[in-house]
Chains A and B, each alone.
Chain A
Amino acid sequence: MIAFLIKRLFHALLVMFVISLIAFSIQDNLGDPIQQMVGQSVPESEREALREELGLNDPFMVQYLRFAKNAAQLDFGYSYIFNEPTTEVVMRHLPATLELVAATTLLIVLLSVPIGVYSAIKPRAWLSRFFMGASIVGISIPVFLTAIVLIQLFSIGVSWTPFPADSGWGSWLNGVISTEGGMPAYGRGDPVHVFGTWYTNFASTEGLVYLVLPAISLASIMLPLFIRLIRAEMLEVLQSEYVKFARAKGISLRRIYFLHALKNTMLPVITVGGVQIGTLVAYTILTETVFQWPGMGLMFLNAINRSDIPLIITYLMIVGLIFVITNTLVDLIYGMVNPTVKLTGKPA
């Protein structure tokens, strides 16, 4: 266990080192921060002084060491746009993205496992065929387009909501979600403060309603992939000798499906899932842009458009850190589920 953790930690450090090198070369070579900070009218001498002051004229190694030292303390300098430390900017935007990813992950897990398992157990049922057909259509719709369609259908120019207005809870929900009718499609509403920079959408009905459309559109890209993956793996497992043997033992089908088969199915799904979390974070850039969701993705896009290099770098480093942490967690979970992996770093 400890050996495993040390090995993973070493691996994580290596990855972070590579990312920091990339991040630093971006900082070193790209964008003219002076231009961004002061504009055209400032004379060249003044710019040069500012450049010197910011340490932009030092040799590469000196700059990288300074960068690495600061990075270790999570200090990536000041954002040009916000004029405050980038770490603080990122920390302010992080909770929104994490909550969106959490809601999406929840949606994916809750839907993909039952649907995938069902369509593997009953591959010829019309419902399974429908799910398979729908999933290939789902894969073919870009996430930003799903978002736009959802906005058009449930928010704009449509004076209806999925909730019936004549029932008590329906009209109450309608009152909660919007004054003009339609689901809220922009921003996160008025999230509840938890602590520090963390405001949550999970604590109130209104907050949850604001999460609905962004989470659905973010899930729309990954859900079909997971359904297809779970179905394919499950179909393979159901052909295995140990499933036949379990049947020969007289075990109930329910136990065979949901213990014997599902546990083996989930092993590859967990591995793929870990990688897909990375993809999910990338897709938040698109979803947040469409829904004006005030998270890191939207912040990153603004930083790109305005060449806020320190903020871009901070984003890359933080996202890299998130990936490294989730990958380690996924490996840990995999090791716990799969008895053939001893957590010593190599298979037994």
Chain B
Amino acid sequence: MTTETSPLQAPPLPSRWERLRDSYLLYSFKRDPIAQLSLLVFIVFVTGAVLAPWLAPMNPYDLAQIDILASELPPFWIEGSDPAYMMGTDAQGRDLLSTILYGARVSLIIGFGAVALQALLGVVFGLMAGYLGGRIDAFLMRLADIQLSFSTLMVAIVVGALVKAIFGGATFSSYAVPLLVLIIGLAEWPQYARTVRASVLAEKGKEYVDAARTMGLPSRRIMFRHILPNTLSPIFVISTVQVANAIISEAALSFLGLGMPETHPSLGSLIKSGFDYIQSGSWWITLIPGAVLVVLVLVINLLGDWLRDVLNPRLYKG
């Protein structure tokens, strides 16, 4: 004698349900100091990055402002620092605080851009694979499997190397931002596709999809208007993690010399250019941008963790 809801009972209105969920989101956010702190730090980062041209003491891209004599100055808490350069300077005499603000801007642009591309590819492919099934499903998922077994980083490195070889170093440098978005987007779509496919398969078995199909709705409409909204919470959750991943991937590519050029640095290329000077004792050139990168990625991951706990979607395992 299980207590079941009677089939005659009308389902609650979607808008009200959404409002309920939003309020629960808000409720648990208010109770979670780590999530609050993470969001605060993240907002500070985004604001700093957006307002970099106005906030930064100097424009690191403007060669005229750079004073080569002021190179490798330490940050303010170490002896020998110059009050004009709070975080010190790098080997070319650029103000580190300014390069970091501009670098975070580049990292965030690439991170969000790459995730937007991944999401677009992944959602479309995942919906197709899950809803249409058959050969399309087999082909797309096999492709995703191969790509994932090579790991997204490896694919990004190989694609990055190829793109660089095709365009040549100079062209690559001048179009580095869109190219990196393309590279990371192409490398990491399988994560999205598999998550979307898994939730589509779960949703597909439910009655409302059957109902929509019996009503003779075209499959494109069923996919986008009926199934997609129900897969939003897993998409939302992995999006946060994927932004963190994309920022790390960009940093890794830049560190290997396959990403942003040193004249237009991201956090990753700042770490790379500073690494050459670590032996001479100027550790701050590489470790301060490193710490900034870690904090940025960490707060995004913490927000993602919190979201996953709150929304608790069934994520694709493995």
Contacts and interface: CB of A to CB of B under 8 A. Distances in A.
Give yes or no for direct A-B contact (beta carbon below 8 Å): yes
Interface of A: 15, 18, 26, 29-31, 136-137, 139-145, 148-149, 151-152, 156-157, 268, 271-272, 275, 278-279, 281-283, 285-286, 289-290, 301, 304-305, 307, 312, 316, 319-320, 323, 327
A142 B149 contact: no
Interface string B184-195: 000000000000
Nearest to B244: A140
Contacts of B209: none
Given A148-B278, A157-B283, 18 more contacts: A30-B166, A136-B302, A137-B298, A139-B301, A140-B244, A145-B293, A145-B294, A148-B271, A156-B278, A278-B148, A278-B151, A278-B154, A285-B256, A289-B256, A304-B157, A304-B165, A305-B257, A307-B165
Interface string B145-158: 01011110110011
A140 to B, nearest CB: 4
Contacts of B317: 268, 272
A15 B290 contact: no
Contact of B165 (A31, A281, A316): A31
Contacts of B302: 136
Contacts of B290: 145, 148-149
A282 B151 contact: yes
Contact of B151 (A157, A272, A279): A279
A273 to B, nearest CB: 10
A282 B268 CA distance: 17
A282 B256 contact: no
B20 interface: no
A156 B277 CA distance: 11
A143 to B, nearest CB: 8
Contacts of A290: 275
A73 B179 CA distance: 36
B149 A275 contact: yes
Nearest to B279: A156
Interface stretch (B21-29, B108-116, B120-128, B247-255): B247-255
5 contacts: A278-B148, A278-B154, A282-B153, A286-B252, A320-B150
A136 B279 contact: no
A278 B157 CA distance: 13
A281 B154 contact: yes
A244 B288 CA distance: 51
Nearest to B305: A136
Contacts of A141: 294, 297
Interface string B123-152: 000000000000000000000001011110
Interface string B161-175: 110111000000000
B258 interface: yes
B157 A285 contact: yes
B286 interface: yes
Given A278-B150, A323-B150, A26 B162 contact: yes
Nearest to A25: B162
B165 A30 contact: yes
B287 interface: yes
A156 B275 CA distance: 12
B218 interface: no
Contact of A18 (B146, B283, B294): B146
